[in-house]
Structure 1
Amino acid sequence: MYKKEAFSPFMAVNPKSYFWGKTILELALQCDKIAEETGVTIYFTCPFTDIRMVKEATKIIQVTAQGMEALRPGRGIGHILPESLKEAGADAVFLNHAENPMTISELYRTMRRAKELDIFTIVCADSVAEAKAIAMLEPDIVLAEPTDLIGTGETADDSYIKDTVREIRAVDPDVGIMIASGITTAEDCYRVVALGADGTGSTSGVVKADNPAQRVREMCEAVKKAHQTKEQ
């Protein structure tokens, strides 16, 4: 089970399908250096076919699969076998993202499979109510992000962040809380963590930056600063 004191602060770098191959490897190597120098845990997602390459080339980042299924070894052509992700080097997995939603039964079964294989679970939720429900399933991190803000550059307001943190903590005080959607700048990252989240994440803010690695560094430094401010 995730313990926020051990893994916080953290940042999810989620290039989705914008980057692959050599491009995603270059960013992963830079993120590995940033994670080591800042002390911020970076969950770095990459396409399934790039997981092994990225894992073998890095030491610090948490290589994260973009999804998974509850499939067990045997029949199931064309599906995503958890054991193959683990052997390829996946440390963690995103589940129930707005671009790849799951039913509750699918999500529960897949989370159980992830725990069997010691794969860290980052489970997405849209509303405060959904975040509370998902927290009851015992994920390692709840990623709360309003779906209609994804990719817009507009972040959730302060009340959403505070309410979400309070409600999730009431269900499980030890679960990690990530709040994202529209996170574009270092300032966005600082605000989210300062308001109570353990970490945040970004796609468009990174992939659309003139220098993606520099943007990741700025974001990680902001997350770390906000986390340190909360501890004082």
Structure 2
Amino acid sequence: MLKVEHIYSGYGDLKIIKDVTFDVNNNESVLILGLNGAGKTTLLKSIAGFVKIFSGKILFDNKDITDLDAYRRAKSGITMIMEQAIFPDLTVKENMEIAYSKNTKSNFNKELEDVLKSFPELKAFLNIKAQALSGGQRKMLSMAMALLARPKLLILDEPSSGLSPLLVSRIVKYAGLLKEKGITMLIAEQNPSFIEIADRVIVLESGIIKLMGTTSEIANNNEVKKTFFQVA
């Protein structure tokens, strides 16, 4: 579905991402694991069209999208959830209506009913403004919105950021629900908990891919254990 080929990208003249190559297959979840400053967000924004690509190529559904702007990439089926992924002045239901994909034979109310089966906690907040939600509830709403949007590729940028360990485990669970729904995902995180829902893992360091492999290969790597699991 997605092919990233030897891309260099960054800000101004500063190259953050250097010669990165990988792919994401249909219905697959790929985790980009890296510490702060590794270049994870820059890489995701490069794919979504928010950061300039100096060289290299990005293919999506076998089409070259390297020079497309973010809006056209979104229209092609790429959805990126960042820290401010919701509209705080709108109600929870209004946020979900905005996200709703009209490229479906179902109607919004039917789709909303189905989504609330996966995210039942949101039912009590439908008519509440999103700004009243806690950090964890906002993350939950953004994932419910992603499900309504029906993206071909969902990009999640550090969904655990700012959350307690208990809430992180719930966000991992919610991401797992999206995977069960058949949504292809590319997730950037420094929290190794997301390995459990990934099919493959890419370890990013200083804008360069340091390791790449299956979840078991990466989870059992001694250097990864020491860096992310604090195992000596």
TM-score (norm: length of structure 1) = 0.42
Structure that is richer in strand per residue: 2
Structure that is richer in helix per residue: 1
State the structure with more CA Rg.
2
